[in-house]
Structure 1
Amino acid sequence: MRNIKILFIVSILIFSNQLSAQENDSIPKLGSVDQVDNRLAIDSETKQPVLEFPFLDPYFDFKKNLKDKTGLNFALDYNSAYFGTNSKIGEGDAGAGVFRFYGSWDLVGKESGNSGALIYKLEHRHKYSTIPLSSLGLDMGYAGLIGAPFNDTGYRTQNLYWRQRLANGRLSIVVGFLDITDFLDVYALASPWMHFMNFSFSTGVAAVNVPNDGYLGLGVGGWITKNIYAIAGIADQNGNTANVFEGFDTFFNKNEYFKHLEFGITSAKDYIVLDNIHATFWQRDETAATGDPDGWGFVLSGTKYINETWLPFVRFAYTEDAGSFLQKALAVGVGYQPKPGGHLLSFGYSWGQTNETTFGVAEDQHTFELFYRLQLSQKIAITPDVQFVVNPALNEQQNSIFIYGIRSRIAL
């Protein structure tokens, strides 16, 4: 743990010394496509929809005027998904929905590159079936998750933190109640709301046991040069989204932390999550409440944006203990989007070696996923999705499982 703390402090010193000399020229924002600032910006971009609903224009004009006058930017969305399988064990199908209200309120430095903002995201997660969608994977004997955030945890505080930009916007500090997937091992197709549903193609390639959402933590990220960035953070592993303020007690008294450090490079600053190579290193302490052992690992990830149409990716993760689903994992695939903001077709393949400290010795799993996101309107997307699993590690009755379903998102 001492070495991790040293790396964290050194990274902050590197940022402070290097970033102050950089120019402020259209600085891309660090974080995942689902980090609140980034999600608001992406949803406001012009899409290539099938249908138009102009009667909503006055509402969006109101939102824009409110942001211009007060610095308050907000949005809400509703996400739903339902999947079935041909599994011989378990329920065989599951569904869930998630309502989210989120936003960013610039309160200081609105006219400068050094703005400070309150970031918030409140949610209600509920199931449509006997079990929520997030439980479907383990229920059918698959060592992994299908639709990880589609659970039935009810009302929750996902984000409530302060975001401060410094050095003319080249350095960002976040402190408060965070979501690790906004800042750890991000790449363009990781969003369960918009992209792959299987956790094998998301944060950590299913080989990182991430802390609970709504954890109390600190993150620092910035641009060391015009093309090289770094992100570091420390998180309480006992976050409770039903009562995030318990995090003050667990952070300072239990001392069970998740630490991460990432270095990345992009050849085109406007394509930070699209054209990206990064290495992420992490370590977590033993967690008494869940019984998860301590451990560490790393993730290597590369994506390349080709002709503003194709997005091939390759990702590898290794974990030592830590209670994750997998201890070694490789994911490769490609996304295809003929027009920016239009329909998206993606395919991925993942190989995974289950974590022996979590499940004992089991056969390697092979997972395939194909989805097509139809941009029905500027704010409505429908996504059919099919998956195929070979050697589900915890299902002794079948050599393969077929999974099929549909997801929708309405953003306002």
Structure 2
Amino acid sequence: MKTKMFTAAFLLLWFALPGFAQSSGLNGPSSVGAELDGDGLTDPQFRSNFPKNIAPGWFAWKDRLAENGFRFSVDYLTLGQSSDSNVGNGRAGGGIARFYGAWQATDNGSLTFKVENRHAYGTVAPQFLGLNGGALSITGTAFNDNGTMLTNLFWTQRAADGGWTLQVGQIDVTDFVDVYGLVSPYTGFQNLAFNTNPAINAPNPGLGIAGGIKLGANFYAVASVADANADPSSPDFDVFDHGDLFKSLEIGYTSGFDRIYFDNVHLTLWHADAADDGSRAEDYGAAFSAAWFIDNQWMPFVRAGWAKGTAALYERSFSTGIGYYGRNTDLAGLGLNWAEARGVPGTQFTTELFYRYSISPNFQITPSVQFINNPLTSAQSGFAVLGLRARVVF
């Protein structure tokens, strides 16, 4: 049965209608491609040239390599959070060091890579502060203490006319599954409620295959099959032995394929096999997302998800909010989330407000505040989480 599902997904990617744009839906805001390209909204009147002004030779060397088809960046992100919860530690801190890039090996083929080290500064990493504080909430998405990981190492092949895109190798499905313009935990919201849908049991980066096609002038489809048991800190080919898979299919609408995650409405269906060792039950669900970029400044969004609820964080989730893009690539965001979890009574409400202050295109500081009302795993009425994130790119 699993083999048939894998084959069906593979045939879908190869034989569906042609026309998927080269700027494909496989490059979401948190992907390597998007990190290298930027958001396309850079205002030339930036506040500073840091860190380019302290290492001009380094950036000039990078530019020369890019002219020959090899682009890369090194960045470091840090996040500190403090909670007034009367449960748990109350403080968390962590950092992420990343080396990522892409080599344009042929006219229509490229190799993408990303190696990162995620570490905590103390006993609690920001990703777990909400859980530690008595809420069913991931307050610092991606800022965990997983150590060194290979999160990307895949080949991308595109049709000569941009008709379809195929990726094979070590992939991260959260780069393209149910994404929208504010999805990245490195540049946008920090709470998982506003990142990849918390009602999707997305696996860790691992071996997989993903592809996208264009269905007419404005519609598209993206599908993936990936290792449901992946461990990027110890990448392997075990999926060929155990066969436990995560599968997704997304059908969406966009105003144009150069704005696929700015103007986007889509429906995502997904399924995750049960682990053979019994550590994870079968899970499946659906997600809906609608976001539209108005006047290249305002991005209102509505997102919802439902899951069987055995392994995903939430069984039901509904989020809404808005982002505002200011000059110098500044970004403000406000999000509201309502969620329920299987087997846990009650409804949890989450609010997040952040402002990304861009000192330069390569140096950003983002203060944020989150409030979790009626936390599902403690008797508190609610608690706040203050955060400060910084990112520098070399």
Question: TM-score, normalized by length of structure 2?
Answer: 0.94
Q: State whether structure 2 residue 33 is matched by structure 1 residue 37.
A: yes
Q: Give the Å deviation of 1:237.
A: 1.2
Q: How does 1:208-357 map to 2 (within 5 A)?
A: 208-213=200-205, 215-244=206-235, 246=236, 248=237, 250-288=238-276, 291-339=279-327, 341-354=328-341, 356=342
Q: State whether structure 2 residue 66 is matched by structure 1 residue 67.
A: yes
Number of equivalences: 389
Do 1:297 and 1:317's aligned partners in 2 also have CA atoms closer than 8 Å?
yes
Q: State whether structure 2 residue 100 is matched by structure 1 residue 107.
A: no
- Which 4+ stretches in 1 moved above 4 angstroms? 1-7
Q: Give the Å deviation of 1:125.
A: 1.0
- Percent identity over the alignment is 34
Q: Distance in 2 between matches of 1:43 and 1:13?
A: 29
Q: Distance in 2 between matches of 1:327 and 1:4?
A: 24
SS across alignment from 1:117: strand
Q: Distance in 2 between matches of 1:184 and 1:89?
A: 34
Q: Distance in 2 between matches of 1:129 and 1:50?
A: 33
Partner of 1:382: 365
SS across alignment from 2:58: helix
Q: How does 1:5-16 map to 2 (within 5 A)?
A: 5=6, 8-9=9-10, 11-15=12-16
Q: State whether structure 2 residue 207 is matched by structure 1 residue 207.
A: no
Q: Distance in 2 between matches of 1:185 and 1:290?
A: 27
Q: Distance in 1 between matches of 2:298 and 2:10?
A: 38
Do 1:284 and 1:322's aligned partners in 2 also have CA atoms closer than 8 Å?
no
Do 2:24 and 2:212's aligned partners in 1 also have CA atoms closer than 8 Å?
no
Question: TM-score, normalized by length of structure 1?
Answer: 0.90
Do 2:20 and 2:164's aligned partners in 1 also have CA atoms closer than 8 Å?
no
SS across alignment from 1:203: coil
Q: 1:320 to 1:7 in 2, by over 3 A?
A: farther
Do 1:293 and 1:321's aligned partners in 2 also have CA atoms closer than 8 Å?
no
Partner of 1:84: 82
Q: Which runs of 5+ in 1 are unaligned?
A: 110-114
Q: Give the Å deviation of 1:9.
A: 4.7
Structure with the higher helix share, 1 or 2: 1
Q: Give the Å deviation of 1:126.
A: 0.9
Q: Which runs of 5+ in 2 are unaligned?
A: none
Q: 1:388 to 1:176 in 2, by over 3 A?
A: same
Q: Give the Å deviation of 1:45.
A: 6.8
Q: Distance in 1 between matches of 2:20 and 2:192?
A: 38
Q: What is the letter of the counterpart of residue 349 of structure 2?
A: H
Do 1:120 and 1:161's aligned partners in 2 also have CA atoms closer than 8 Å?
yes
Q: Distance in 2 between matches of 1:44 and 1:335?
A: 16
Q: What is the letter of the counterpart of residue 175 of structure 1?
A: V
- Which shows bigger deviation, 316-325 or 91-100? 316-325
Q: State whether structure 2 residue 181 is matched by structure 1 residue 188.
A: yes
Q: Distance in 2 between matches of 1:242 and 1:270?
A: 34
SS across alignment from 1:211: coil
Residues 137-196 of structure 1: CA deviation (Å, up to 9, x unaligned)? 111111121112111111111111111112422311111111111121111101000000
Q: 1:409 to 1:93 in 2, by over 3 A?
A: same
Q: What is the letter of the counterpart of residue 62 of structure 1?
A: W
